[in-house]
Amino acid sequence: MRRRLPGLLLCAPAAFVLGLCFVWPMLSLFRMSFYEGEGGTLIPAWSLATFTRLAEDPFVRDVTLDSLGLAAFCATMAVLLAYPMALFLFRTTSRLRGLLAIAAVMPLLVSGTARVIGWMALLSDQGLINQLLGAFGVPTQPLINNWTGVRIGLTESVMPYAILALIAGLGRLDRRVEAAAASLGAGPLTTFWRITVPMTLPAISAAWLLAFVLGVSAFITPKLMGGGRVFTLATEIFDAAMETLDWPAAAALSVYALLLLSLIVAAHAALTRRAGA
């Protein structure tokens, strides 16, 4: 006990901040999901009415599937795009390695809103890409204010996180095994598919999960690039909280989203454990 005390004391500030900034608000959120709301007015209660209403609404089911599908697509694309970059950054012995790593995660230094505004300038009907296409006689392509725009923006948005997770996980890649494969006659492609990829699977899996979780909870990109056509759990929560003032619904949807993500993360952890066993 005496040994544990200093450790507990060291954890106390972080635990206090976590409790104040996360646990307490989440408990409050949980409590509010049982309130009743009428025309924006909050009525304190212990009622399951909001949960029942949401459970019976097929739109919530559709939004859930759309959110998960969008996040899965963007996480997959982000990992596919990030993997070669991370592998290069891991292997390169260039003096510019640090600089290149910073460049790869540079988007994180810019606010999400600013990045989205940049995409809007590029992808709009009068944007740079459509101007270029127009120069070759290609008619205007709707690249924004729809699902396409959100997929592009969100993939770019989560990619830096995927790169960081992959770089962190690539430490498990033992170059000697690759060299051994090559010495036994394996070509570069065979070595990549049969040695490199399997050895980096845990990193790929972790990067995908991180990008997926961020994708499910993303708000700015679907809201700003979706043109009002893309509904996700995050945009629904925003609309309920800020537009229709249905705070119990916003709280209930938040609790639902949290539980959903927790389940997915737990399932991923179980699968990873089983694969590792």
Partner 1 sequence: MRGTLAVGLLGLACTIVPARAQAPGQVVLMAYPGIFQDNYVDTVTRPFSQASGTAVQYFPTTNSAQMLGTLRTQKGDPQVDVVIMDTTTAAAACAEGLVEPLTEAEMPVLKDVHQIARQAGGECGPGVTFDHFVMTWNTQTVQTPPTAWRDLWNPAYRGRISLSSPPDIQGLVLTAVLAHAETGDWRNVNSTFQKLREIAPLVQTFNPQPDSYTLVLNDQVGFATGWNARAQYYRDQSNGRLGVLLPAEGTGFQINTINVVKGSKNRAAAMAFVTYALSPDAQAAFTNRMFYAPTNTQARPSAEALGRTAAAPESMSKVVAIDWAEMVKLREAWNQRWRREVIAAGGR
Nearest to 237 by CA among 249, 220, 223: 249
Ramachandran angles phi, psi of 59, nearest 5°? -65, -35
Q: Is the dihedral of CA 16, 45, 262, 242 positive or negative?
A: negative
Is 229 a binding residue for partner 1 by CB under 8 A? The answer is: yes
Tell me how far, at minimum, the Cβ of 187 lies from partner 1, in Å: 45
- CA 93/CA 227 separation, integer angstroms: 44
Nearest to 157 by CA among 216, 205, 100, 99: 216
Tell me how far, at minimum, the Cβ of 237 lies from partner 1, in Å: 9
Closer residue to partner 1 in complex, CB, 12/117? 117
Closer residue to partner 1 in complex, CB, 53/97? 53
Instruction: List the one residue from 7, 137, 185, 228 that touches partner 1 (CB under 8 A).
Output: 228
Is 76 a binding residue for partner 1 by CB under 8 A? The answer is: no
In this chain, which stretch among 25-33, 98-106, 185-193, 269-277 interacts with partner 1, using CB under 8 A? 25-33
How long is the chain? 277
Is 227 a binding residue for partner 1 by CB under 8 A? The answer is: yes
In this chain, which stretch among 8-16, 72-80, 189-197, 218-226 interacts with partner 1, using CB under 8 A? 218-226
Tell me how far, at minimum, the Cβ of 143 lies from partner 1, in Å: 10
Instruction: List the one residue from 11, 17, 28, 262 that touches partner 1 (CB under 8 A).
Output: 28
Instruction: Strands of the chain (E only): list them.
Output: 36-38, 41-43
Q: Which residues, in sequence order, are bridge partners of residue 43?
A: 36
Which residues neighbour 255 within 8 Å (Cβ) at sequence distance 6 or greater? 29, 30, 33
* Coil, strand or helix at 231: coil
Q: What is the largest CA-CA distance in the chain?
A: 77
**Residue-wise DSSP of 169-230:** HGGG--HHHHHHHHHTT--HHHHIIIIIHHHHHHHHHHHHHHHHHHHHT--HHHHHHSTT--
Is 19 a binding residue for partner 1 by CB under 8 A? The answer is: no
Is 120 a binding residue for partner 1 by CB under 8 A? The answer is: yes
Q: H-helix or E-strand containing 112?
A: helix 112-123
Considering only residues 37 to 66 of the shown chain, the ones binding partner 1 according to CB under 8 A are: 39-42, 44, 59
Considering only residues 153 to 212 of the shown chain, the ones binding partner 1 according to CB under 8 A are: none
Instruction: List the one residue from 152, 254, 256, 257 that touches partner 1 (CB under 8 A).
Output: 254
Is 151 a binding residue for partner 1 by CB under 8 A? The answer is: no
Is 26 a binding residue for partner 1 by CB under 8 A? The answer is: yes
In this structure, are residues 125 and 140 in contact, taking their beta carbons and an 8 Å threshold? yes
Tell me how far, at minimum, the Cβ of 192 lies from partner 1, in Å: 39
Is 239 a binding residue for partner 1 by CB under 8 A? The answer is: yes
Using CB under 8 A, list all residues that contact partner 1. Answer: 24-29, 31-32, 39-42, 44, 59, 117, 120, 124-126, 140, 142, 145-146, 223-229, 231, 239, 241-247, 250-251, 254
